[in-house]
């Protein structure tokens, strides 16, 4: 009997001790609005650098969206554009020189001048377009390295926020598929682009007009293929995110049910866990937006440069068509399709990265 009374007394003392400590612990873990303060969240040394290097944060975007978008653009945007398209001044000068000579040459020399215009134009544009392809590959490689460092950190934030299935999916299909796509584009874009430039020059110099049309069709087909591949991959990521969100929500509800069955102590622990989870979900949104802002700050200037190249090539094409230089006009049309293919490649990787990150923090309680 004495042993039973001693066990009951120790059990009562332990229960009273737990009841006395649980509410203060819950209050200490929660902020003024029931959220854990950012400094108390785990793994701060891993995710804080990504928040610091972001050109814009979530609060700035909510308060001033236009200002946050302007912050993503470089300060010397006009200088960047001018440096990227300076080579087209030589192309335009060369075309004007050919047009001037055509006024003094006889009609029998028109085909020869057209051939000279096409050959000289491709030589003047080759170096600039090849450097543009290398710039795109360097940007894709830097994004791949960034994602290899960011996604594992974001995966840890998801797991700590009560979404282990979403974290595993982020480190699986999203990271591996996106890095594989970026690596394939980096490996194959420069040689394929150089081959495309050579084929464009050969087909447009040829007397067969159908070859130039086939070359333009090949560039358009490549661009459309990238677009359809991006749509398929985005649909797959969306379906996976829906299923992972449902699984994580079911596991969270089960955990809350099991914790709530413990009287008083379970409710206090559930409140403390809810405060920490709300803080982790807020961190998940801020960290995801920081990654999107970082990628957008590198994507927008390069994409604008590609669009400027496209517009200038279109202008050269229209100029040659108006002057009756059919081969040269076909050449600039092929080159324009190639630049649009580069833009489609970098937009594909950027779009999938942004969509996958946005799905991770928009769904699942983010």
> What would the pLDDT profile of 211-262 be if each residue is shown by its tens digit?
777 887 887 888 888 889 889 998 998 888 888 877 777 766 666 565 555 5
Name the percent of the chain lying above pLDDT 90: 10
| Mean of pLDDT over the chain | 75
- The confidence score (pLDDT) of residue 56 equals 65
* Band of residue 9 on the pLDDT scale cut at 50, 70, 90: very low
* Band of residue 314 on the pLDDT scale cut at 50, 70, 90: very high
Phi, psi (rounded to 5 degrees) for 87: -70, -20
d(CA 133, CA 142): 14
If you ran DSSP here, which 8-state letter would residue 170 be given?
I
Residue 74 has pLDDT above 70, yes or no: no
Residue 96 lies in a domain: no
- The confidence score (pLDDT) of residue 221 equals 87
- The confidence score (pLDDT) of residue 32 equals 42
Residue 108 lies in a domain: no
* Band of residue 6 on the pLDDT scale cut at 50, 70, 90: very low
- The confidence score (pLDDT) of residue 319 equals 87
d(CA 184, CA 172): 18
- Looking at the 3D structure of the chain, how many domains does it have? 1
Residue 207 has pLDDT above 70, yes or no: no
Residue 44 has pLDDT above 80, yes or no: no
Residue 344 lies in a domain: yes
- The confidence score (pLDDT) of residue 344 equals 92
Residue 107 lies in a domain: no
Residue 207 lies in a domain: yes
Helical residues (DSSP H) of the chain, grouped into ranges: 2-29, 44-52, 58-63, 65-72, 77-84, 88-104, 110-160, 164-169, 175-205, 209-260, 265-323, 326-362
Residue 265 lies in a domain: yes
- Between residues 109 and 137, which one has the greater pLDDT? 137
Q: Residue 362: which domain range?
A: 113-366
Residue 37 lies in a domain: no
* pLDDT tens digits, one per residue of 110-119: 777 878 888 8
Residue 60 has pLDDT above 70, yes or no: no
* pLDDT tens digits, one per residue of 175-193: 888 989 999 998 888 888 8
* Band of residue 350 on the pLDDT scale cut at 50, 70, 90: very high
Q: Considering the entire predicted model, what is its pTM?
A: 0.76
d(CA 297, CA 268): 44
Residue 272 has pLDDT above 70, yes or no: no
* pLDDT tens digits, one per residue of 281-312: 777 778 888 888 888 888 988 898 899 999 99
Residue 56 lies in a domain: no
In this structure, of 41-45, 90-94, 361-365, the range with the lowest mean pLDDT score is 41-45
Please report, for residues 88, 123, 215, the alpha-carbon distance to residue 115 in angstroms, rounded to integers and kept in the order given: 19, 13, 17
Radius of gyration of the chain from Cα atoms?
Answer: 30
204-212: average pLDDT: 72
317-339: average pLDDT: 87
332-338: average pLDDT: 89
């Amino acid at each position: 009997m004495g042993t039973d009374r001693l066990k009951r007394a120790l059990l009562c003392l332990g229960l009273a001790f737990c009841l006395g400590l649980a509410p203060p612990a819950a209050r200490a873990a929660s902020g003024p609005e029931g959220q854990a303060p950012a400094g108390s969240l785990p793994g701060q040394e891993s995710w804080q650098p990504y928040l610091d290097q972001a050109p814009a944060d979530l609060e700035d975007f909510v308060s001033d969206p236009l200002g946050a978008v302007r912050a993503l653009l470089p300060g010397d945007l006009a200088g960047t554009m001018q440096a990227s398209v300076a080579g087209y001044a030589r192309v335009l000068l060369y075309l004007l020189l050919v047009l001037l000579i055509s006024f003094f040459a006889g009609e029998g020399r028109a085909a020869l001048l057209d051939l000279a215009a096409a050959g000289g134009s491709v030589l003047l544009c080759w170096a600039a377009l090849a450097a543009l392809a290398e710039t795109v590959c360097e940007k894709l490689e830097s994004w791949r390295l960034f994602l290899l460092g960011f996604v594992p950190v974001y995966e840890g934030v998801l797991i700590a926020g009560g979404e282990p299935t979403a974290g595993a999916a982020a480190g699986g299909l999203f990271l591996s598929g996106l890095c594989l796509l970026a690596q394939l584009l980096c490996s194959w874009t420069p040689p394929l682009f150089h081959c495309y430039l050579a084929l464009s020059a050969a087909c447009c110099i040829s007397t067969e007009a159908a070859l130039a049309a086939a070359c333009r069709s090949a560039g358009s087909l490549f661009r459309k293929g990238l677009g359809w591949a991006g749509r398929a991959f985005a649909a797959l990521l969306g379906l996976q995110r829906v299923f992972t969100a449902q699984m994580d929500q079911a596991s969270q509800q089960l955990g809350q049910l099991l914790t709530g069955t413990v009287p008083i102590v379970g409710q206090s622990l559930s409140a403390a866990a809810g405060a920490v989870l709300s803080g982790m979900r807020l961190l998940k949104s801020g960290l995801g937006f920081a990654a999107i802002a970082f990628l957008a700050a590198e994507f927008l200037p390069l994409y604008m440069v590609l669009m400027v190249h496209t517009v200038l090539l279109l202008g050269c094409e229209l100029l040659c068509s108006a002057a009756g230089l059919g081969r040269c006009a076909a050449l600039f049309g092929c080159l324009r399709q190639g630049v649009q293919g580069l833009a489609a490649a970098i937009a594909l990787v950027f779009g999938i990265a942004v969509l996958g990150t946005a799905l991770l923090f928009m769904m699942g309680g983010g």
